Structures are given as C-alpha cells and as structure tokens.
C-alpha cells in the first residue's frame, strides 16, 4: 500500500533490454551480481514493499529469463517490439487497476534500496507524479532534470535531445517513478516518438503532467551507487564493488572485524555474534550464521553453514551446508560437505574431507582423511590417511565409530561396519567386519620380502 494515499501498489519492472554491450549469450538481467541474477535483486527489493502485484516486462531472451526465475510469483509481460520505456510500461498497464499506485523499476538497476523507494512512494499521490533523481559528477548519457522556480520538475530531457545549456545540469533522471495508474495510462497514451531515437520515452510524462497542472515532485537518491544501471561488464564490476562495500559496511556496523573490507564477498544473508573476525578473501554464500568470537581465516568459502561460538576456521577451507559446534578447529585446507555435523571441540585438520557425517564432542581427524556417511562418537581419534569406504559403485553404506575409538593411520574402513567403543584399529588395517569394543583389531596382509627380486628397468636411451 502507498503510505500517503493508502492506494494498493503495483510494481512494474522493465527487463526487456537486449544488453548487446554485455557481449554475452546470457540475457542482461540474468547477469550475476553476488551470485544471483540482477533481476533477482530487484525482485527481492520490490517484494519487500508488499505490493499487490509485480509485473515484469521482458523481451530479448525472455524465455530464458522466465525459466531462470520460474519460481517467482510475478506477471510476465512480453514487449514484442523495443519501442522505448514508455511503450514497455504500456504493455503492463492493462493488468493494473486504475485505483492502484504504480512504481516503475528496472531489472538492470539492482542496488536500489527499499527505504529510498518507500520515500518516493510517500511523495506520490492521486494528483502527484514522483520521480527519483540523482546528482552525478558526470551525468553523460543520462536524461537531465529541469526544474521550475518552485523546485518541481517541469521537464526531463534525454541526452541526445538536450541543448548545451541543459547538458550542464548535473541532476539526472534515474527512470524510477511512482504515479497513480489512472493518470499514468492517460499520460502514456499521449506520448509521441518525435525524438532523436524515435522511441516513446517514459520520461516525457513529466512534461505532460506539468502542463496539465499536476505536481511532479523530485526525490534525490541518497547515494549514487543505488541507482547505477548495468549495461556492460565494466558497469557490472562497478556495481559488484558497490555491493561488496555495502555488505562489508553492514557487517562492520554489526561489530565484525574485517581485516580488509575490500576483500570480502557476501552472497547471501549473514547473522553474526560479537567479536567475529573475517580475514581476507572470505566468501560468504547463502544463509551463514557465525557465533560469538568466530574467526575465519583467509581464502575460505562458507556456504549455508552455521558455526558455533569460539570456533576457528583456518586458511583455505570450504564449508558447505555444514553445522559446526562451539570451540571447533577446522583446517587449514579442510572441506566440510553437505551433511557434515560437528559437535563441540571437534578438530578437522589439513586435507580432511567430511561428508554427511556426524562427529561427537572432542573427536579429532587431523590429517589426510575422508569421512563419508559416518556416525562418529565422542573423543574419537582418526589417524592420518584413514578412509571410510562408503561407496561400492552403486550404494552408499554407513560406518559407525563409537566413543573413545582410536583409528591408526592408513586404515580403510569398508562400510557397512561398526567399530565398538574403546576399540583400537592398528595402523594400515583394512577393516571389513565389525570390530569389538575395547580390543585391538588388525587387518593387515602378512609382510613378505623376496630375495633376489629386481626392480624393472627402462631400456637406456640410444645416443645420437
């Protein structure tokens, strides 16, 4: 609902641009920003305004856009011919009731903020068109905002149609507007394409509204990055940098210590406790929860993972869909795959991989080990080079290791198998049957030395 007028809100997102300057087979609005399509960011912000409906106008590559965002509950509207922004909005209007307020957004302007849009909607009303503008050091390429003596907009002139005097104006049009649907339909029906590009400009409705004595109220965007459009890979990188900066600032305001804010990527939502520290080149994806005093070392990827208080993740680790308890030590060079669940004070060391396995409190696997489809009890020590052989080429089977077990280095545990509480597995064993509790179990071939055996030799290379 529009705050000022209590009018139901309809949002129109223009996403029909071809994106030729991207030089990519991927539609422009599907280009990735922080791991998600540009259009997805706009949709998320639009939905935060609780609109009655969202209409997405698509054109070039529309089938791929709809397929990529098939789960989104939006009305897809096709713009068969690219005849300008005014024409694009017109395609969506038949599905919008006259009593609605319309907010026009762009699928390639991904950083627009909810608060800015809420303030714009608060200015719009039954007799008011609200226009979001921005002050730019270099407004080249943007339409210019021309105000009257009372500060209202009398006209918006596009770059190609502007005079030299008008080109000196630094206040630029963002294209984002809010207007009553009934008036918007009326103004769009009056648009003409007698301009340098032969297009129907949405911006021309400002002059039409002003001539008809309606209020055309500008709102200056508080920051430039949030209204930046993306038309090529250079601009995409600039927007990505702005996004990273915003996310880093959010985390620092929440009390997180960032060793270098410029070298952090947040590609999802992050919940943090107190005194969290993130080193350089950390990537946080999906839903990440970091407890009090968690330290993440350099070059780590944390994806959809929960990490408990006082845990340290050392350099070059990947944690993916894992749950890590308090006071754990992970890495360096460790990998936790989906289904990894670590209780309190678990140690996972260098070149250890854990997949779909639970490790009880105080258990350790410090070197060169694979733990897959395993249930491991408390205070277990898994020696270097141990492998839970969980896959026979068709089926996955489970390994059960009970409390206080000691697994010697280089052991192969062929699942399904159970190691009883307090058992010891001798180094170099291959275990294919259950090992009893509190006993030493060995599974080694007899060592043999062959007198007179000679290692095969390569034929010497011929000279010349």
For residues 110 and 230, the answer to whether their CB atoms sit within 8 Å is yes
pLDDT of 295 over the 50 cut: yes
Residues 278 and 375 occupy one common structural domain: yes
pLDDT band at 132 (very low <50, low <70, confident <90, very high): very high
CATH number for the domain that contains residue 115: 3.90.550.10
pLDDT at residue 37 in the model: 97
| Shared domain check, 350 and 336 | yes
Residue where one domain finishes, among candidates 227, 261, 277: 227
For this structure, is 367 an active site residue?
yes
Distance (Å, whole) CA 242 – CA 248:
10
Residue 455 maps to a domain? no
Q: Are 77 and 94 contained in the same domain?
A: yes
pLDDT beyond 70 at 437: yes
Give a yes or no: residue 450 inside a domain: no
Same-domain check for residues 347 and 409: yes
Contact 203, 187 (CB under 8 A): no
Range of the structural domain that residue 205 is part of: 9-227
Handedness of CA 135, 141, 147, 152 (dihedral sign): negative
- Average pLDDT over all residues of the chain: 95
For residues 19 and 135, state if they share a domain.
yes
The answer to whether residue 449 is domain-embedded is: no
Q: What is the mean pLDDT of residues 294-323?
A: 98
Quote the tokens at residue 208: 């039409």
Q: Kindly state the average pLDDT of the residues 380-393.
A: 96
- Both 187 and 298 in one domain: the answer is no
- Sequence length of the chain is 464
| Pairing status of strand 424-425 against strand 440-441 | parallel
- Residue at which a domain ends, from 196, 227, 258: 227
Confidence of residue 460 (pLDDT cuts 50, 70, 90): confident
For residues 174-198, give the mean pLDDT: 93
Tell me the pLDDT tens digit for each residue of 192-206. Answer: 998 878 889 998 999
pLDDT greater than 70 at residue 464: no
* Contact between 327 and 344 (Cβ < 8 Å): yes
Question: Per-residue pLDDT tens for 260-278?
Answer: 999 999 999 999 999 999 9
What is residue 60's predicted lDDT score, i.e. its pLDDT?
75
Q: Verify that 213 and 83 share a domain, yes or no.
A: yes
CA separation, residue 382 to residues 370, 400, 412 (Å): 10, 13, 11
CATH code of the domain containing 384: 2.160.10.10
On whether residue 454 sits in a domain, the answer given is no
Is residue 5 over pLDDT 70?
Answer: no
How far apart are alpha carbons 146 and 155 in whole angstroms?
Answer: 5
How far is the C-alpha of 360 from the C-alpha of 174, rounded, in Å? 56
Residues 409 and 299 in one domain: yes
What is the tens place of the pLDDT at every residue in 65-117?
A: 999 999 999 999 999 888 999 999 999 999 999 999 999 999 999 999 999 99
User: Residue 82: its pLDDT value, please?
Assistant: 85
* % of the chain surpassing 90 pLDDT: 89
Which of these is catalytic: 60, 245, 321, 367? 367
Q: What is the pLDDT of residue 401?
A: 98
Compute, in degrees rounded to 10, the torsion defined by CA atoms 382, 387, 392, 394.
80
Q: Which of 48-52, 62-66, 112-116 has the lowest mean pLDDT?
A: 62-66
Say how far apart CA 320 and CA 307 lie, in whole Å. 11
User: How far apart (Å, rounded) are the C-alpha atoms in residues 342 and 177?
Assistant: 51
Is residue 463 in some structural domain?
A: no
Q: Look at residue 3 in the predicted model and tell me its pLDDT.
A: 47
Contacts 24+ apart (CB under 8 A), 112-118: 112/42, 112/45, 112/176, 112/226, 112/227, 113/45, 113/226, 114/45, 114/48, 114/49, 116/219, 116/221, 116/222, 116/226, 117/45, 117/49, 117/176, 118/3, 118/49
């Amino acid at each position: 609902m529009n705050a000022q007028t209590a009018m139901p809100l309809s949002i129109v997102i223009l996403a029909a641009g071809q994106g030729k300057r991207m030089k990519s087979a991927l539609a422009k609005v599907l280009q990735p920003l922080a791991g998600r399509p540009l259009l997805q960011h706009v949709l998320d912000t639009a939905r935060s305004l609780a609109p009655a409906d969202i209409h997405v106008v698509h054109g070039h590559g529309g089938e791929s856009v709809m397929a990529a965002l098939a789960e989104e509950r939006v009305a897809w509207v096709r713009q068969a011919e690219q005849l300008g922004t005014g024409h694009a909005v017109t395609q969506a209007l038949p599905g919008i009731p006259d009593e609605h307020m319309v907010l026009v957004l762009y699928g390639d302007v991904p950083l627009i903020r909810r608060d800015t849009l809420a303030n714009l909607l608060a200015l719009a009303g039954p007799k008011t068109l609200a226009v979001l503008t921005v002050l730019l050091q270099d407004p080249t390429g943007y339409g210019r905002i021309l105000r009257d003596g009372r500060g209202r907009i009398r006209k918006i002139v596009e770059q190609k149609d502007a005079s030299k005097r008008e080109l000196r104006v630094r206040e630029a049009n963002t294209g984002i507007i809010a207007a009553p649907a009934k008036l918007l339909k009326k103004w769009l029906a009056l648009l003409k394409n007698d301009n340098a590009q032969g297009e129907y400009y949405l911006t021309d409705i400002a002059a039409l509204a002003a001539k008809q004595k309606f209020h055309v109220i500008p709102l200056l965007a508080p920051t430039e990055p949030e209204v930046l459009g993306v038309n090529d890979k250079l601009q995409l990188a600039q927007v990505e940098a702005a996004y990273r900066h915003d996310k880093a600032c959010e985390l620092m305001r929440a009390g997180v210590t960032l060793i270098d804010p410029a070298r952090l990527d947040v590609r999802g939502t992050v919940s943090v406790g107190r005194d969290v520290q993130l080193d350089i080149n950390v990537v946080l994806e999906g839903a990440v929860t970091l407890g009090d005093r968690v330290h993440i070392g350099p070059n780590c990827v944390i994806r959809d993972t929960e990490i408990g208080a006082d845990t340290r993740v050392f350099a070059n680790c990947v944690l993916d869909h894992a749950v890590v308890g308090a006071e754990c030590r992970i890495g360096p060079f460790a990998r936790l795959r989906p289904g990894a669940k670590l209780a309190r004070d678990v140690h996972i060391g260098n070149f250890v991989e854990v997949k779909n396995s639970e490790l009880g409190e105080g258990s350790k696997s410090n070197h060169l080990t694979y733990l897959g489809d395993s249930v491991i009890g408390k205070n277990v020590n898994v020696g270097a080079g141990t492998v839970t052989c969980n896959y026979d080429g068709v089926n996955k089977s489970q390994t059960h290791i009970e409390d206080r077990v000691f697994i010697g280095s280089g052991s192969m545990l062929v699942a399904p198998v159970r190691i009883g509480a307090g058992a010891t597995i001798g180094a170099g064993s291959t275990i294919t049957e259950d090992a009893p509790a509190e006993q030493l179990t060995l599974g080694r071939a007899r060592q043999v030395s062959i007198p007179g055996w000679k290692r095969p030799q390569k034929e010497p290379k011929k000279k010349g």
